[in-house]
Structure formats: structure tokens, C-alpha cells
Structure 1
Amino acid sequence: MLALRGITKSYGGRRVLDDVSFDVADGRLTGFVGGNGAGKTTTMRIALGVLAADGGTVDLDGRPITADDRRHFGYMPEERGLYPKMRIGEHIAYLARLHGYSKADATANAHALLDRLGLGERLNDNVETLSLGNQQRAQIAAALVHDPRVLILDEPFSGLDPLAVDVVAGVLQERAAQGTAVLFSSHQLDVVERLCDDLVIIAGGTIRAAGSRDELRTRHELRRYELVSECDAGWLRTEPGVEVVDFAGGYAVFDVSDDETAQRVLRRAVELGDVASFSPRHPSLAQIFKEVIR
């Protein structure tokens, strides 16, 4: 497990990270979200050893991280950094060889990974001839080709179409299932919500929320319900303690003041006609994000 504890960082007189602490567990996908300038990239670079923190520690498996440990990290920066004139298959294999792989193993790893990422037919194409989306896939391959035990990705889904997002998400899930600790940042909250096991929200250089996806949903649970019935749900507008959020015929989404009100609404709905469904609505990541960064 990768653990960041009390990380601080300042540039001049401006503190950009203040007591940043969170874990990236083995075998889990940790989503790292925040607005522009929130401190995500700086935090990642400190974890990688690219930047030095002013204070705090970065540990791996309960001990201070070493330079040798970081050789087993994979990193994809937000800025593309591949050599444009190299053939993509050769390029990714070359990066594997830098990590000690034999030529045969490096080539095999590179070709298998590029094929899994949908670039199997582009092995002999120069990087500069690839579309921006395919360059992004190649950049992800560069971070993965040496089978890292910790993977840190800065905006891996940027510039990808929906099909490519699914491919990359599948690859990351496979790596996590094999025990890799995966930390990735993204502004695409719907993708993060679908993919992550754990979530870290940062704003203004401080951690505003951290925990498993389900824990955060429970912690920020709204008393919001969805009702589908055969009876027009307009009666909800006059119910005490009920605020209707969405309404159309027998369908309604509404907030209640307490659990007793929710039970009263359910009893009333059953009295008025057949109820197809009555269920709580869990907060989305976007709703949680907006709440904690206020």
C-alpha cells in the first residue's frame, strides 16, 4: 500500500499542499479528483519522487519509500512525452528494456499491451502519425509495459472517445485485479464514479474527503427517494416535510425531512394505488464533490 501522510508543499509564500494524507491500496482503483489547481498533479509528483515535499512522508508497505521502490512505479503524466519519430511498437519495447527486460520479453510485453489497448495494427506507425486519442493509449502503454506494482496516471481518459474509455478502464481494472495499486486523476466524474473503488477529493491543497466509494455515498447520503406508481404523484407537493425534485405523472423524485416522513409517504402511495417501486436515491460523485468543496 502506498501511504501519503502530512504532505505539505509551498511555492514562494503560497502553500499549494497542506497536510495531504491518504492511502492507495493494493488491488484497488483510487480516483483522485479536484478542480484545476487543486493540487492533484503536485501530489502525484511528490509520490513519484519527481518533486520534494516540504513536509510529510511517502511510505510503501509501512516503510519509507526508496528510489528502488519507485523503479517499480508506472507513471503517465498529463503532458504527452513519447518520441514522435519512433515506431510505437519499438518505443514501448524500448521503455520495457530500460526497466531490465530482455529484448524478447520487452517486445512481447509491448505488443500484447498495445494490442489490448487497440493499437495492435499500429505497431509500425510513428508516434506522430497517431491521433491524439491513440497517442493517449500509447502513453498508457508506456506506463504499464514494465508491470508496475504502483500505477499513477494523470488524466488517463483525456481525449478518449467513449469506446476508448471503456478499453482503458478495462485494462486498469485488470491491473488492479492482479494486485496493482492504481491512483488516477480525472475531471470526468462519471468515469471515476463507475471505475473507482476508493475516492480522494482535494480542493485548495487540502483533502476534503477520502474513503471507499460506498463509504462516501453513505456519509453524504441524502434523504432522497424515487417513487414510481400508477397514481399521479402530484399529491406529494402538499405533503409536509417533502420537497419534490422531479415529477412526471406517476414518477417523482423527492427529498424528505426524516425517515418517518419517508415511511408516511410510502404508506400514502400504497393507499392511492399500486406502487411499482419506492427506493432511496444515492448521491452521485458530482453531488458529493460539490458538497465537500463548498
Structure 2
Amino acid sequence: MDLVRLRGVGKRYGAGPWVLEGVDLRVAANEVVAITGTNGSGKSTLLRILVGLSRPSAGEVLARPASVGYVPERFPAKERMTAIAYLRHMGRVRGLSTSESDAGAHALLDRLALVGGATTPLRALSKGNAQKVALAQALLPRPKLLVLDEPWSGLDVSAHGVLAELLAEVAGDGGAVVFTDHRESVVRATASAAYRIDGGRLGAWRDGGQVATVDLVAAAEREQVDWPGLPGVLRADHGVGSVMVVVEGKHCDELLVTAIRSGWSVAGVRRAAPSAGEVR
């Protein structure tokens, strides 16, 4: 079932040039969709149309769920109110009780590891920590459609994996996620389908690179390794005495050397082309 459907959507401001033209897009439940493109290509404009903040100049938005969470590219973090007061207010606006808003906000901020704590004023937060509050408000309560504009921007490394988990959870609960990012590695690791805006038109995202999945087993004596912090690592899934690391193909040999030197045994290496989807 399509949660989002755009048909022939175009956007222009006044008599200016078309920012978007003839955009057809369908996003189904359980999908995580990436939108790529250069700065000024119209990515943010498309997201604003998706969430209903901007009307198309041409074409139609045929489907959009009632529950939408949105993280804009620039979060207004100059407010005097504290992070928890802001999130409490946003939760109340969306129909939660005060206790439900507080519980949900604290759980999300703890999970994202907000530096300074929930009582820190928004204007005192760093860019990365303000981004964590922006993510929390979009997920409070959990939306059916989550739309994010460059959501990893400014986040510390420890929060990167948490964000990927949150996107997967929204999709896994029957929702859908649409995000923008210019990095191929993020698109490969996170998206189930990917598109590129070029000249105002939406088309399939193509990537000829390879990724490698490396299965590692811990020896009796081994060093702890920060797998997500290594070059090219897209994901690291830990098991009991083992770890599966997904890495960009060009960094696979480097990862293997680090693993062996740190006392890990290589159980297997699988190489494949990335699986980003195409326009349907």
C-alpha cells in the first residue's frame, strides 16, 4: 500500500524557473527512501511538499498519511525554553498527555545521548545536540511518515547508529521514511530505495560501487575495536563473540588488517553491489 504518492508534481516561485518538474513518487509502507542531489537541486522543496508545508504549483499529492514527523534542514534552536519543555509542548500539540510527552521525550533524548540533559535551554545546545532535539520532536509520537532533511548533519558518531535504528523502527512498524543525504555510503547502508533529483526531475539513483559484508569471530584474547569508527564502515551488528561488519568495498582490505591485528578471526567475506531501488 502506498503511504505517499505524488503525480506530475512541479514547483516554481512566482514567474521564476521550475524548481521541480514532473515528479512522480510512490513510497510504500516499510520503505526507507533516500533522495540525493546537489545543493539547490530541489531536495528540500520536495520534502516540504511531502509533509504538506508547501503546495505544488503543478501536479497532485494523491496520498499522505495523517501522522507526519518532519526534521527540517535548519532547526530553530534559538528558543529560551528547555529541550524538555519544547518536546512536552510538541507532544501536547500532537495529542499526547503531559506525562506521555515527558516519558517519550526523556526516552528519546536518553537514547540519542543529549549532552547537557533535558533541562538545557535550546539556545545553549550545540548544532549536533539541537539536531537530537529536532529528531526527538519528529518522533513524538511515532509518525506514520517520517521525513528528514540531512538528518545526520552535525550528529556525533555515537548518534549515527541510533538514528539508523530509529529509521528502521519506523519502517518496521508499518511506516515509511524519506530522507535526503549527499553521501553514497549513507544511502547504501540505510535506504531500501533511492532517487536523485537532477535538473528539477526525479530519477533513479545509480551507484556502481561495491559493499562487503565481513563476518568476524572473537578470539580468546582480542582488542576491542570501534568498528563504526573505521573508514568506510556502514554498519556493525554484534552477536555473541562475533560481529558482522558492512564496509565499502574499497576499505575492505583495511578493515581485515585491523581485525586480524586486533585478534579477530575472519569467518567470511561477501561482496555485492548495493541494493538501492529504482523508480517504479
How does the TM-score come out when normalised to structure 2? 0.71
Q: Aligned to 2:9, what secondary structure does the other structure show? A: strand
Question: Relative to 1, partners in 2 of residues 1:169 and 1:283: Cα closer, same or farther, differing over 3 Å?
Answer: closer
Q: Aligned to 2:146, what secondary structure does the other structure show? A: strand
Name which of 100, 105, 112 aligns with 2:107: 112
Q: Aligned to 2:29, what secondary structure does the other structure show? A: coil
| Deviation of the 1:59 alpha carbon | 2.3
Indicate whether 1:33 and 2:28 are aligned: no
Q: Aligned to 2:132, what secondary structure does the other structure show? A: helix
Indicate whether 1:184 and 2:179 are aligned: yes
Name which of 46, 49, 54 aligns with 2:49: 46
Give the equivalent residue in structure 1 for 2:166. Answer: 171
The residue identity in structure 2 corresponding to 1:97 is R
| Deviation of the 1:180 alpha carbon | 1.6
| Deviation of the 1:278 alpha carbon | 12
Contact 2:6-2:23 at 8 Å conserved across structures:
yes
| Deviation of the 1:281 alpha carbon | 5.8
Question: Relative to 1, partners in 2 of residues 1:121 and 1:202: Cα closer, same or farther, differing over 3 Å?
Answer: same
| Deviation of the 1:176 alpha carbon | 1.4
How does the TM-score come out when normalised to structure 1? 0.67
Task: Give the aligned CA root-mean-square deviation in angstroms.
Answer: 2.8
Q: Aligned to 1:92, what secondary structure does the other structure show? A: helix
2: distance between equivalents of 1:18 and 1:92? 36
2: distance between equivalents of 1:5 and 1:163? 38
Per-residue deviation, residues 47-76 of structure 1 (Å, max 9, x unmatched) = 22211111111122xxxx5xxx54x11111
Q: Aligned to 1:36, what secondary structure does the other structure show? A: coil
2: distance between equivalents of 1:150 and 1:166? 20
Per-residue deviation, residues 192-231 of structure 1 (Å, max 9, x unmatched) = 2101111111111101216xxxxx66xx799xxxxxxxxx
Indicate whether 1:80 and 2:82 are aligned: no
Name which of 37, 47, 59 aligns with 1:56: 59
2: distance between equivalents of 1:43 and 1:139? 19
Indicate whether 1:93 and 2:88 are aligned: yes
Identity of aligned residues (%): 35
Per-residue deviation, residues 220-278 of structure 1 (Å, max 9, x unmatched) = 799xxxxxxxxxxxxxxxxxxxxxxx9xxxxxxxxxxxxxxxxxxxxxxxxxxxxxx99
Residue correspondence of structure 1 range 203-282 to structure 2 within 5 A: 203-209=198-204, 282=273
Structure 2 alignment gaps of length 5 or more: 211-249, 251-267
Count how many residue pairs are aligned between Structure 1 and Structure 2: 219
Q: Aligned to 2:81, what secondary structure does the other structure show? A: coil
1: distance between equivalents of 2:159 and 2:116? 15
| Deviation of the 1:189 alpha carbon | 2.0
Question: Relative to 1, partners in 2 of residues 1:187 and 1:96: Cα closer, same or farther, differing over 3 Å?
Answer: same
| Deviation of the 1:123 alpha carbon | 1.0
Question: Relative to 1, partners in 2 of residues 1:119 and 1:27: Cα closer, same or farther, differing over 3 Å?
Answer: same
Q: Aligned to 2:159, what secondary structure does the other structure show? A: helix
Indicate whether 1:157 and 2:152 are aligned: yes
2: distance between equivalents of 1:39 and 1:138? 25
Q: Aligned to 1:122, what secondary structure does the other structure show? A: coil
Contact 1:114-1:120 at 8 Å conserved across structures:
no
1: distance between equivalents of 2:77 and 2:62? 29
Contact 1:137-1:168 at 8 Å conserved across structures:
no
Contact 1:28-1:180 at 8 Å conserved across structures:
yes
Larger Rg: 1
1: distance between equivalents of 2:102 and 2:271? 51
Contact 2:192-2:275 at 8 Å conserved across structures:
no
Higher helix share: 1
1: distance between equivalents of 2:269 and 2:85? 57
2: distance between equivalents of 1:148 and 1:284? 26
